[in-house]
Structure 1
Amino acid sequence: MNASEHTDRALCVSLVVWHPDCWVIELTEELDIGLIGYGTRTRQDGRTTTLYTIYANTEAQISSGIEQIRAHPQVYVVSEVNQMHRLEATSTPGNATKGLLIDHDGTTQISDEFLSRGFVHAEPVDGNNGVEYWRLLTNYNREEVESIIDEICESVGAEIDVLGVTEAAWGTGLGGLPLHRLTRRQHEVFQLARQEGYYSTPRRISADGLADELDISASTLHEHLQKVEAKLLGP
């Protein structure tokens, strides 16, 4: 990166990412689970170890999901991790979670494509419904971000949608929102609200428009979002 490519203010880039041969994408599309990954870097032997939170609506879905993860050919070792600071979430009916330390094939991951080009994580990566939601920080300007995204897509055969590029503020990410507290339906509503610009300034979609996309009433949408915001912003 040369001086002309820098921006005076760091940018936060929000993405929806699909890339081929990724076990996280495959399993979250097939199963009623989500996986939040807390950063990964591939070692010289092509393997990587990543801390994940697996989340689902029920403990049975969690157990089945862990079995399927262990059986996946790209996964080598799965160890359960106590998440004492998240017990309030795991005890909530319909909102099951578990920590997993997973040793897996790093050559099928897309993380290094971003990190090697100067991006850093603003939040953990949320994999659900067959895609991954990324929020990254960068010193590149907006034009360079677009060019690099195109380069990554061409390099690994990825499909990447840019949800937004905004000036980063202190507090952007910094450990990320506690997305593991949300149910699957709340994840769907929240991610679509983010994707369509409901939380943008100015707002790019109205509550009525977002409700129409979800095929629910505006009152039901507000009920979902109130619960989401209480879980994400509460103690």
Structure 2
Amino acid sequence: MYEATLQITGHSSYAEATAGTSATIDLWCNQHCDLLHVSREPAMDIAQKVETTVGIQERLENREETVLVTNDCLREHEDGLIEPFLDRHGCLLLYPLHYEDGEKVCRILSISPTALTECFHDLVEADIPVTVKSKRKLGSSVETQRPLLAPHDIVPTLTDRQSEVIHHAFENGYYEIPRGITTEEIATEMGVKRRTAEEHLRRAENKLLASVIDFLN
């Protein structure tokens, strides 16, 4: 079996709702309705978008997150979804769908690598702005392969720039005592303004901490 992680830019009201914000949406489709988990601000704005698009029948929320049960399934209200392409090529969608910073991230499974390739080509030909973030072959040995659902899956998806900045900071001693590098130096070495580097770094730190804070003693 083979797995690919696809990233689709925009092309969804939920993806567009997260653009330029620190909010994320995870979606589980139940055919007749969807379960949404919304983290960070602006959860209220996103809830309004969901209400307008598919309606909301139940809502649970606190200061950190919002859980929504919709009236309808998003598949009934949007065109250009990935599911028809997966059905055509016998591929499987592994939920949840993840929306963040204007992007939709999908994990796809297939028995055949050819089916994954053909599915990707069909998406491109349909003018869907899709890129392959990762792909791997699933082996039979559990010990040597990452399982389908693993601790890795709780780690949030960072934007390319956020990932670059936090890797650069870590590898150059930013989190050591004393610091091996300053944010000013990080910015200079990456060719961006200090404020931009700090914003990317803080967003990445916030996402990583938010994903694990509940597991800390």
Q: Give the TM-score normalised by structure 1.
A: 0.59
Matched, 1:230 2:216: no
Q: Partner residue of 1:158?
A: 128
Distance 1:222 1:63, change over 3 A: closer
Q: Partner residue of 1:121?
A: 93
Report the structure number with the largest CA radius of gyration.
2
Q: Give the TM-score normalised by structure 2.
A: 0.63
Equivalent residues of 2:4, 2:134 under 8 A apart = yes
Q: Partner residue of 2:55?
A: 77
Distance 1:17 1:232 in 2: 29
* Amino acid in the other structure paired with 2:13: W
Q: Partner residue of 1:111?
A: 83
- Deviation per CA, 1:69-118, whole angstroms, max 9, x where unpaired? 323xxx24212245xxxxxxx65x5x322233241434423223224422
Distance 2:16 2:208 in 1: 31
Unpaired runs of 5+ residues, structure 2, are 139-144, 171-185
Equivalent residues of 2:33, 2:69 under 8 A apart = no
Q: Partner residue of 1:191?
A: 158
Q: Partner residue of 1:184?
A: none
Q: How does 1:1-235 map to 2 (within 5 A)?
A: 10-18=1-9, 20=11, 22-29=12-19, 33-39=23-29, 41=31, 49-57=33-41, 61-71=42-52, 75-82=53-60, 95-103=64-72, 104=74, 105-108=76-79, 109-141=81-113, 143-155=114-126, 157-168=127-138, 169=145, 171-173=147-149, 177-178=153-154, 187=156, 190-192=157-159, 207-208=167-168, 212=190, 215-216=197-198, 227=209, 230-231=212-213
What do you get for the CA RMSD once the two structures are aligned? 4.1
Equivalent residues of 1:12, 1:122 under 8 A apart = no
Aligned residue pairs total 186
Unpaired runs of 5+ residues, structure 1, are 1-9, 42-47, 83-89, 180-186, 199-204
Identity of aligned residues (%): 9
